[in-house]
Structure 1
Amino acid sequence: MIINIYVYRTIKEDYLRDKEMNLLTQANMIATRTTEAIYESNHQFDQFALKEMMQSFDAQIQGRILIADENRIIVYDSFHEFNNKKLEHPNIIRSIKGETVVREYHSEQYGRTMYTSVPITRQSHVVGVVFLSVSLEHVYDRIANVSNRLIVMSFLGLGMITVISILFANLITKPIKRLTETMQKTAQGKFGGRIPIKGNDEISQLGVAYNLMSTKLSQIDKQRRDFVANVSHELKTPLTSMKLLSESLLMQEGGDIAIYREFLSDIDTEIDRLNKIIESLLMLVDLNEDKLTIEYEITYVNYLVEKVTQSIKPLAEQKKIKIIINQWHKIQIYLDQGKIHQALTNIIYNAVKYTEDGGKVVITLYREGNRAIIKIADNGIGISEEELPYIFERFYRVDSARSRKTGGSGLGLSISEQIIHLHQGTIEVESKEHKGTTVYVKLPIDLKTGL
């Protein structure tokens, strides 16, 4: 509406300005022509010549033409009402003094009218006045028509804007409402909800981000449930064994001491197994919550590999597995000896455990660029291509029956991977079923320790 008012006022001013300029032009033309009808001797008008002259202007003006002499006596009136009469009109009085006057008036008889008066000069002397009176009603009618059209167009535009706003509001709020409902379900623990994506606007991008988050939450929730189930199973297995063994002992009446020792030895083994699982779980919690402190110190990696190998030799000798160490380079780097020792122990232990009796494990230490490489290769049972991507997941075991038989919990490789990542290193695995597995542990030589 404010725009309409501004447009209306602008159009009105333009129309009136054009009318004013047009009347001034015509009045000046008449003033110039009327000088031809003035006697040079007494500056009086030749009324006959003036009448003949004005006939051509009457049709053009579409209003009233008055010619007054210097005494304000009307010498020509196109309406023949004031001929030879003195007219005391303010415009005429001012123009006799040499002014050009344009004024708009309103009267009950003629309505809105524009009066224009210009002086008639001859030899720099005012000898009369041209006075034009033109109705403005047709101008205001035209302005009113334009105003009415503007109002109609404004209402039509407002209606269209309202409809378009409602449509756009629905387009915007509908996906937001759907997103809100899905998020509320997620907040209630109902993971996996997805939002249909249409277009590529900001809402769609938000939907894509939410779907990715929802998928990740579903995976995390599944991992959590699997983790709880696996932990429960892993803890239950040794506890069940200990309960059965202890019940068997309780039922013995004066049994052989050798049987008691055997049962107590089995209970002790299960306790050790249970303790290892709990220690591994606690380490995983520390790794996940970034609570694990890395104590860097300069370490001779060759010696560390030999030390790990010595700790696993009893199992290798028991299975008649040969462990070969190739040291191509002498390497000293900053690392946490205890944690890297644990990571390497888990990896080499698995290599020995899953290699058939009489096999071999080859450990090679060398430099490659700015990295120290520890390569552990065995000729054991290997891992299938389908199972290879999952070996670093918690509790994942390629051969569950064999793992449980040998005391595996499925946590060793997961812990090793995270320890190596904490050292800004990587671990890579290559394997072929029934042919063997090769693990590459790559540690940076110029490790940024912050020391």
Structure 2
Amino acid sequence: MLLLLNTYPLMVSEDLVFRSKETTLQSSVSVIVYSLSGLDQLTEENVAAAMAVVEESSLSRVLVTNSTGRILYDTRETGGAIGEYGLYTEIVQALLGNDAFTCTYGRGAFRSRASSPVLYRNQIIGAVYAYEYDTEQAALLAGLQGNLLRLSGVIAVVVLALSMVLSRALTQKIGRLLTAIRQVRAGAYSHRADIRGKDEIAQIAQEFNSLTDRLQTTESARRRFVSDASHELKTPLAAIRLLTDSILQTENIDPAITREFVSDIGQEAERLARITEDLLRLTRLDSGAVGKPEVVDVLPVLEQVMRMMNLVAQEK
């Protein structure tokens, strides 16, 4: 954009100046040609007389040649070329019957050249050449270029500052989001990503906070489930332990009492099995409702139950 800002307006302005120069210079040459068109031939005397009635213009130099290219009139006061042959490209083109115009811009000035043939009864009897050296419009164009450069510098500084501010804000948001992800990955499900705004990163942070809410809820449910399961399993385990201790610590226990205790141990074991099945069935129902199985840490409890049952079997 800055390159376009510094090139396109200047190119358009330069082209407009070229067009204006062509129109103005060709108009001035046409006036001079018209003043000479009534002459049957061109000489130094009659050309000077005809040019005396032509209004002075802002042209830097005017040359009038005959049909051979010999210069008959020159407005340059010092170092005039009267009597010499003009070999400018524009004069050659005019003697061939063509209008010519060229304009260049450089070194702080516009240099414009135009020429046209002088005709008498459709015969070329000479040529008019005009040259203009313009520094005023060149100064205006240079001023425009300087203003564009300064404007481009200001825009570049503003864009750079905004880019740094936006980049820093974006980096901070991403950093906070990454910190929140690391905290949650470490097990801190209550941690939240505090990112404000309505951009994409803020939306990602909101989705992340929703996910951590669900994770925290799931973790709380898991802990409550383990606590409830442990509480339900403690009752039959305590009864089994009490019965087995009674059998082991009583000497010469009556076989009938032993069978009664063993029967009670079997009932408590069946109760423990039912509780375990209910817990597993509840786990399957919860996982089906959520859509994804939730792992509940009941293996240590079940292993302890199995060890107690094996110990009772050995004592029997």
Whole-Å Cα distance in 1 between the matches of residues 243 and 26 of structure 2?
124
Asked if residue 30 in structure 1 is aligned to residue 27 in structure 2, the reply is no
Task: Provide closer, same or farther for how the CA distance between residues 194 and 19 of structure 1 changes in structure 2, counting only shifts above 3 A.
Answer: same
- Which structure dedicates a bigger proportion of its chain to strand? 1
Whole-Å Cα distance in 2 between the matches of residues 197 and 288 of structure 1?
33
Whole-Å Cα distance in 2 between the matches of residues 203 and 128 of structure 1?
79
Whole-Å Cα distance in 2 between the matches of residues 83 and 15 of structure 1?
29
Whole-Å Cα distance in 2 between the matches of residues 145 and 210 of structure 1?
56
Q: Note the C-alpha offset of 1:166.
A: 1.2
Amino acid in the other structure paired with 1:39: L
Asked if residue 222 in structure 1 is aligned to residue 220 in structure 2, the reply is yes
Q: Note the C-alpha offset of 1:247.
A: 0.4
Q: 1:203 aligns with which of 197, 201, 204?
A: 201
Whole-Å Cα distance in 1 between the matches of residues 133 and 12 of structure 2?
20
Q: Note the C-alpha offset of 1:105.
A: 6.9
Residues 300-321 of structure 1: CA distance to partner in whole angstroms, max 9, x if unpaired? xxxxxxxxxxxxxxxxxxxxxx
Residues 168-211 of structure 1: CA distance to partner in whole angstroms, max 9, x if unpaired? 12232222211111011111111111223533222222121111
Task: Provide closer, same or farther for how the CA distance between residues 63 and 240 of structure 1 changes in structure 2, counting only shifts above 3 A.
Answer: same
Aligned residues of 1:50 and 1:76 also touching (Cα < 8 A) = no
Asked if residue 96 in structure 1 is aligned to residue 95 in structure 2, the reply is yes
Structure 2 equivalent of residue 65 of structure 1: 62
Asked if residue 12 in structure 1 is aligned to residue 9 in structure 2, the reply is no
Q: TM-score, normalised by structure 1?
A: 0.56
Aligned residues of 1:74 and 1:87 also touching (Cα < 8 A) = yes
Instruction: After TM superposition, list the pairs within 5 Å mapping 1:332-347 onto structure 2.
Output: none
Secondary structure of the structure 1 residue equivalent to 2:176: helix
Structure 2 equivalent of residue 160 of structure 1: 158
Unaligned 5+ runs, structure 1: 291-393, 395-451
Q: Note the C-alpha offset of 1:246.
A: 1.0
Q: Note the C-alpha offset of 1:242.
A: 0.6
Residues 50-90 of structure 1: CA distance to partner in whole angstroms, max 9, x if unpaired? 23322x2x23x342222223243434332245374233222
Whole-Å Cα distance in 2 between the matches of residues 268 and 241 of structure 1?
11
Coordinate RMSD, CA, aligned: 3.0
* Range moving further from structure 2, 110-119 or 94-103: 110-119
Secondary structure of the structure 1 residue equivalent to 2:188: coil
Whole-Å Cα distance in 2 between the matches of residues 133 and 48 of structure 1?
18
Whole-Å Cα distance in 1 between the matches of residues 141 and 202 of structure 2?
49
Task: Provide closer, same or farther for how the CA distance between residues 201 and 95 of structure 1 changes in structure 2, counting only shifts above 3 A.
Answer: same
Secondary structure of the structure 2 residue equivalent to 1:46: helix
Count of paired positions:
284
Q: TM-score, normalised by structure 2?
A: 0.77
Instruction: After TM superposition, list the pairs within 5 Å mapping 1:284-323 onto structure 2.
Output: 284-287=282-285
Structure 1 equivalent of residue 75 of structure 2: 78
Instruction: After TM superposition, list the pairs within 5 Å mapping 1:321-360 onto structure 2.
Output: none
Instruction: After TM superposition, list the pairs within 5 Å mapping 1:114-125 onto structure 2.
Output: 114-125=112-123
Structure 1 equivalent of residue 52 of structure 2: 52
Asked if residue 232 in structure 1 is aligned to residue 230 in structure 2, the reply is yes
Amino acid in the other structure paired with 1:32: Y
Amino acid in the other structure paired with 2:63: L
Structure 2 equivalent of residue 254 of structure 1: 252
Amino acid in the other structure paired with 2:117: P
Structure 1 equivalent of residue 3 of structure 2: 2
Unaligned 5+ runs, structure 2: 289-295, 297-316
Whole-Å Cα distance in 2 between the matches of residues 135 and 122 of structure 1?
31
Aligned residues of 1:105 and 1:115 also touching (Cα < 8 A) = no
Q: Note the C-alpha offset of 1:32.
A: 2.7
Q: Note the C-alpha offset of 1:259.
A: 3.6
Secondary structure of the structure 1 residue equivalent to 2:127: strand
Does 1 or 2 have the higher relative contact order (CA < 8 Å, sep 6+)? 2
Task: Provide closer, same or farther for how the CA distance between residues 232 and 2 of structure 1 changes in structure 2, counting only shifts above 3 A.
Answer: same
Whole-Å Cα distance in 2 between the matches of residues 176 and 127 of structure 1?
83
Amino acid in the other structure paired with 1:94: Q
Whole-Å Cα distance in 2 between the matches of residues 243 and 177 of structure 1?
55
Q: Note the C-alpha offset of 1:220.
A: 0.8
Amino acid in the other structure paired with 2:147: R
Secondary structure of the structure 2 residue equivalent to 1:114: strand
Amino acid in the other structure paired with 2:66: D
Task: Percent identity, please.
Answer: 25
Residues 342-374 of structure 1: CA distance to partner in whole angstroms, max 9, x if unpaired? xxxxxxxxxxxxxxxxxxxxxxxxxxxxxxxxx
Task: Provide closer, same or farther for how the CA distance between residues 147 and 187 of structure 1 changes in structure 2, counting only shifts above 3 A.
Answer: same
Q: Note the C-alpha offset of 1:288.
A: 5.6
Structure 2 equivalent of residue 245 of structure 1: 243
- Which structure dedicates a bigger proportion of its chain to helix? 2
Amino acid in the other structure paired with 1:92: I
Structure 1 equivalent of residue 307 of structure 2: none
